[in-house]
Amino acid sequence: MIHSISKPMNQIQRVLRNHFVKIQRHSKHNHSFGAKNPNTEINRENPKKRHPKRPTPFVATMKVTHDPDEALSLFHEYYRRGYKHDYPSFSSLIYKLAKSRNFEAVENLLGILQNLNILCKETLFCALFQHYGKADLTEKAVELFHKMTSFNCVRTVQSLNSVLNILVDNDRYSDAKELFDKSKEMGFRPNSVTFNVIIKGLLERAEFTEACNLFDEMLERNVEPSVVTYNSFIGYLCKKGDVEKAKTVVEDMVKKGKHPTAVTYALLMEGLCSLGEYKEAKKMMFDMEYKGCKTKVINFGVLMNFLGKRGEIEEAKSVLSEMKKRRFKPDVVIYNILVNYLCKESRVEEAYKLLIEMQIKGVEPNAATYRMMVDGFCMVGDFEGALKVLNVMLKSRHCPRLETFCRLVAGLLGRGKTDGACFVLEEIEKRKMRLDLEAWGALVRDACSGFETTELLTQIIMVNNDS
């Protein structure tokens, strides 16, 4: 990294430039399975040889080590001390690294695992598929799926279902269908979950007839549809506003011996709400118990979400009060509904009080809760308040989206809070997030002006080309 430049730069300019160079150089590394750093090579381990128990096992250390980079360093340090890493060691570290999206380190460890005679569990790969999917790296997920057997791992229909779901969720239905069609020759026998994933993909593409044909194929292949299968069709019909037809699907599933769940009724309630029939939806929530299905928190959530969309926040709060009266404990989803709409209505202070109430009631805020609060404070121009929430969010080991980070940096720069902006940029770098040129341009324009902006952008481009 070049530390000297022709013209003195202030703190925020240096952070912007150095951060960009680090990320650009890092992104040029090739990502492929196999160990790349000779220091990470580990000798083949004989699974029959038993090692004495260590006073401080690596896995136990992992449980209290929250920094992924520190965990990786400890992995190598234990090895240098003569500790023989087994499957729990590898898997615990891989889980931690994948969650932080350090996929280069993940693939290095996978490369080592390929060369060791260690039995791997399928759950590790299913978890990695999900992390790849969240990072929009579906090709990596498919590649790993095809290489699973080289990791001394028994591959079952569970991993097939997992990778199919990642493809469908990332709008890669055609690839999912191709893999589904080849499943039999690959030695898999699709189960109801397999069909459910493909049906979900078809319905997301509004291919209702094709989904019905696949449903018939399930029956022909003696695969029994589950409640989830029926709920997929019910949800689709309700979104299209055809609640009556959805009710006929419910009747059909009852005839087939499948009992509607709280989710089934929640889908019907959403359909009624979309038609403006709020009272009917509320009536259905009470009637469902007479039909043998207990009301769940999700049903209250449907009503609250509808009221929130209409801007009827006080009415949504009354639903929360009704829940408490009926001794239902609100979960994080229920609180998030109110936090979301309060922030959208610029009632951020009320939303923040609700966040405090959650914690007092023992409901742990999730990443969405914090993200909405940070975005809400940014929306009303309270960037210092947003930074405070961000700090709590990071301490809770949650991470905002990149656009939230960028919005906060720009806001802090606009208020002259360069220390806060630098802190946020360092957190972006720590998490190895990538900013595109448009985002960088916006941040640089906020950090600089006139000739300095042109000079800084020119230097960034020059370093990027050199690296």
Give residue-wise pLDDT tens across range 249-291.
999 999 999 999 999 999 999 999 999 999 999 999 989 988 8
What pLDDT was estimated at residue 405? 86
| pLDDT at residue 456, rounded to an integer | 46
Residue 342's domain comprises 329-400
Confidence of residue 414 (pLDDT cuts 50, 70, 90): confident
**In a shared domain, residues 391 and 372:** yes
Q: Are 377 and 383 within 8 A, CB to CB?
A: yes
- 288: CB partners within 8 A, 6+ apart: 260, 262, 265, 295, 299
pLDDT at 26: 44
Pair 415, 362 in one domain:
no
Average pLDDT over residues 109-132: 92
Position with higher pLDDT, 409 vs 192: 192
Residues 418 and 365 in one domain: no
Q: Pick the more confident residue, 225 or 420.
A: 225
Contacts 24+ apart (CB under 8 A), 34-40: 34/107, 34/108, 34/111, 34/114, 35/108, 35/111, 35/112, 35/115, 36/104, 36/108, 36/111, 37/108, 39/76, 40/76, 40/108, 40/109, 40/112
d(Cα 95, Cα 102) in Å, to the nearest integer? Answer: 10
Supply angle C-alpha 457, 460, 466, rounded to 5: 140
Same domain for 461 and 435? yes
| Rounded distance between C-alpha atoms, residue 62 and residue 59, angstroms | 5
Range of lowest pLDDT (163-172, 234-243, 341-350, 445-454): 445-454
Q: Is the pLDDT at 40 greater than 50, yes or no?
A: no
Instruction: Provide long-range contacts, Cβ within 8 A and 24+ apart, for 173-180.
Output: 173/201, 173/202, 173/204, 173/205, 175/138, 175/142, 176/201, 177/201, 179/142
Which of 400, 424, 445 is a domain's end point? 400
Q: Do 440 and 450 lie in a common domain?
A: yes
On whether residue 386 sits in a domain, the answer given is yes
At 456, is the secondary structure helix, strand, or coil?
helix
Q: Is residue 346 in some structural domain?
A: yes
Same domain, 345 and 389: yes
What pLDDT score was predicted for residue 440? 63
Please give the angle made by the CA atoms of 89, 93 and 99, to the nearest 5 degrees: 155
> For residues 243 and 331, what is the distance between their CA atoms, to the nearest angstrom?
28
Which CATH number fits the domain that encloses residue 335?
1.25.40.10
Tokens of 231: 């709920």
Same domain, 347 and 410: no
> If pLDDT is split at 50, 70 and 90, which confidence band does 437 have?
low
**Domain end (from 355, 384, 400):** 400
CA-wise closest residue to 417 among 446, 396, 445:
446
Mean pLDDT along residues 312-321 = 94
In this structure, are 393 and 333 located in the same domain? yes
Question: Residue-wise over 114-141: b if at least 16 C-beta within 10 A, else e?
Answer: bebebebebebbbbbbbbbbeeebbebb
What pLDDT sits at residue 42? 41
Q: What whole-number percentage of the chain has pLDDT above 90?
A: 60
Average pLDDT for the chain:
84
Q: Is residue 97 part of a domain?
A: no
- Count of domains observed in the chain: 2
Per mean pLDDT, which range of 28-32, 326-330, 370-374 is the poorest?
28-32
Q: Of the residues 346, 367, 400, which one is the last residue of a structural domain?
A: 400
- Quick one: pLDDT at residue 412? 87
Radius of gyration of the chain (CA): 26
> Does 304 reside within a domain?
no
Q: What average pLDDT score do residues 440-462 get? A: 52
- Note whether 396 and 430 are same-domain residues: no
Residue type at 160 in one-letter notation: L
The residue-averaged pLDDT of 75-80 equals 88
Question: 52-71: per-residue pLDDT in tens?
Answer: 544 457 888 888 888 888 99
pLDDT of 171: 94
pLDDT at residue 7 in the model: 39
Paired tokens of 190: 């699709």
* Residue 293 belongs to some domain of the structure: no
Contact between 285 and 299 (Cβ < 8 Å): yes
Same domain, 396 and 406: no
- Predicted confidence band of residue 402 (pLDDT cuts 50, 70, 90): confident
Q: Same domain, yes or no, for 333 and 367?
A: yes
Half-sphere exposure (CA, 13 Å, Cβ side) for 15?
20
458 pLDDT above the threshold of 80: no
Residue 17: pLDDT band by 50, 70, 90 thresholds? low
Let me know whether 396 and 419 are in one domain: no
Instruction: Specify the amino acid at residue 128.
Output: L
Q: Is the pLDDT of residue 206 over 90?
A: yes
Q: Which candidate, 100, 101, 147, 93, places its Cα nearest to that of 125?
A: 147
345 in any annotated domain: yes
pLDDT at 47 over 60: no
Residue 401 has pLDDT above 70, yes or no: yes
Please provide the DSSP assignment of 66-86 as one string: --HHHHHHHHHHHHHTT----
Q: Is the pLDDT of residue 38 over 90?
A: no
For residue 245, the one-letter residue type is: K
283 in a structural domain: no
- The answer as to whether 347 is a domain residue is yes
pLDDT at 442: 61
What one-character-per-residue DSSP string does 291-343 give?
GT----HHHHHHHHHHHHHTT-HHHHHHHHHHHHHTTPPP-HHHHHHHHHHHH
- Of 122-126, 180-184, 194-198, 420-424, least confident by mean pLDDT is 420-424
Quote the pLDDT of residue 41: 41
